[in-house]
A = this chain, B = another copy of it.
Amino acid sequence: MTLSHSTEKPFAKDLSYLLSTEARSRNESPLKSAFKYYSQPDLVFLGGGLPLATYFPFNKVVAETALPPFQNGIGYVPTTKAETNVVKIEKRLDPNSDVKDIPLARSLQYGFTEGQPELVAFLKEHTQLVTNIPYQDWTLMANTGSTQAWDNVLRNFCNKGDSVLVEEFTFSSALEAANAQSLHTIPVKMDGFGIIPEELAKLLDSWNPDTPKPKLIYIIPTGQNPTGSSLSYERRKEIYKIIQKHDLILIEDEPYYFLQMDVYTRDLQKREQQRNMTVSHEEFINSLIPTFLSLDVDGRVIRFDSASKTLAPGSRLGWFIGQKRLLERFIRIQEVSAQAPCGFTSSIINGTLQRWGQKGFLDWLIGIRKVYSHNRNVTIDALNDYMPLEVVDFIPPIAGMFFTFNIDATKHPKFASEFNSEPLKVENAIYERALKQGCLMIPGSWFVSKGNTSPPQRYILDNDVQNPKIFFRGTYAAVPMDELVKGIKRFAEAIKLEFEL
């Protein structure tokens, strides 16, 4: 693991002309200018309303985790002290400790809008280990999670009435955030492997010149929500070229990036091999699909990373990675809204990561891969075993928490009659029937980006528009495996009942 030398690289392009009116109008607080004197020796600083840490009631916080390399698996709960990683954060820094902790007197105080320096430094180093950003003036800024980050991105790049490009099926909260800001979400066609570069090119090349071109595209490249698809490196390169040509900002929302798995196989022997294989850190990193950031010669990608899926959602900690000039505007919006990530999160997560070290964090991520590979295998086995394959098809996901399966709605016996040839009616009938059978999965149409066509024309992830299929999204992340198999069995039963199979 060697860090790349960034000093010889070129600088990012100045893309600040793509910022919104709101982003441009934000000023640095004059009070912040006074804060530069805060630590000047022998200056009595009476400038800020910072309550004295002496009166924070919290004298100490201790968090317990397992120790790397997590050889008993990431779900193992240590039973002895020797097995336990104890993260003890005092109010004041222990002068005898060489761990880069964030003392409570600092983390629970105001300040560090961009994130506490020790944590930011750790995450930057982690970023350099897993991706090689082609320009030198990139930076990393902590935020309170990618959902908030997306709302801030919209405010920083879009004016009311603007358009943003999104995947045809996407995270519904992302759509709602955009639509509430009076933005148009324009869907880009997908197949089972994510958005289709040719469709993106066609959409932009044939853009009606009377309407303003979108300034950004929002993509969940790996383990996409809801489809579970992952963009190949080839597609990423093609997509990057297209957004360069059309001068777009690309938001890569990557909460599932480190949930990349072994490839699915029905060969149980091979599977056992995969499971028992010791993967080096180098091999793990090399096995990850390269990020859009690694292609970003211009500085037009903003990456969302997050602790939500790798550590815990309630940590409410995410981070932006992108060019400094653009991220500076995110500091400005964060200092007058969220202010900073929570201090307990900063101290505890930083304390954990500092003790694990970069290698320990990679060990944790490798441990997650094992769990999710197993869960995905169980899922796909169950789909193969129980689903009526004459009407159901699916692609085994290679990343993330979600699986989807397509159902050929036209094969429903009442499709042309009672359902009036409307796939959505079949979808709803299956949803209701599965609920009665005792399993809930989310109908694909709930994730449709409506864009300017209403109702949407497609409910399926292939190019066969003549033959509309529907799909459902399930997750293998949220329940134990016996429960999962029971659920899939029940759902399969519901489909069979509906389709009279």
Contact = CB atoms under 8 A, between A and B. Distances in A.
A368 interface: yes
Q: Which of A46, A50, A176, A335 has the most CB of B within 10 A?
A: A46
A311 to B, nearest CB: 6
Interface string A40-64: 0011111111111111111111111
Interface stretch (A121-129, A229-237, A273-281, A432-440): A432-440
Contacts of A438: 42-44
Size range of the interface on A? Answer: 35 or more
A49 B173 contact: no
Interface string A291-316: 00000000000000000110111111
A227 to B, nearest CB: 13
B316 A342 contact: yes
B345 A475 contact: no
Interface in A1-42: 21-22, 25-27, 29-31, 34, 37, 42
A54 B75 CA distance: 5
A99 interface: no
The oligomer's copy count stands at 2
Interface in A311-333: 311-317, 333
B368 A342 contact: no
Nearest to A335: B173
A33 B446 CA distance: 11
B49 A478 contact: yes
Contacts of A91: 77
Nearest to A151: B337
Nearest to A314: B343
Contacts of A490: 44
A399 to B, nearest CB: 13
Contacts of A52: 477-480
A145 interface: yes
A471 interface: no
A119 to B, nearest CB: 13
A66 interface: yes
A49 B479 contact: no
Given A352-B57, A442-B31, A478-B48, A342 B341 contact: yes
Contacts of A282: none
Contacts of A104: 312, 314
A139 interface: no
A383 interface: no
A473 B442 CA distance: 55
Interface in A326-363: 333, 335-346, 348, 352
Nearest to A445: B30
B46 A440 contact: yes
Nearest to A26: B180
Nearest to A37: B440
Q: Which of A25, A314, A440, A441 has the most CB of B within 10 A?
A: A314
A459 interface: no
A483 B313 CA distance: 42
A222 interface: no
A22 B317 CA distance: 26
Interface stretch (A106-114, A184-192, A415-423): A106-114
A477 B56 CA distance: 12
A402 interface: yes
A44 B344 contact: no
Nearest to A29: B172
A136 interface: no
A498 to B, nearest CB: 18
Contact of A44 (B64, B75, B479): B479
Closest 4 CB pairs of A and B: A314-B343, A44-B487, A342-B342, A108-B314
30 contacts: A25-B179, A31-B442, A37-B440, A43-B438, A43-B440, A44-B479, A44-B484, A45-B479, A47-B441, A47-B474, A49-B401, A49-B477, A50-B477, A53-B312, A58-B64, A58-B65, A58-B311, A59-B64, A59-B77, A60-B63, A104-B312, A109-B313, A110-B313, A144-B144, A145-B338, A148-B339, A173-B336, A312-B343, A341-B342, A342-B344
Given A148-B338, A176-B336, 6 more contacts: A44-B487, A61-B348, A62-B63, A109-B313, A148-B337, A315-B344
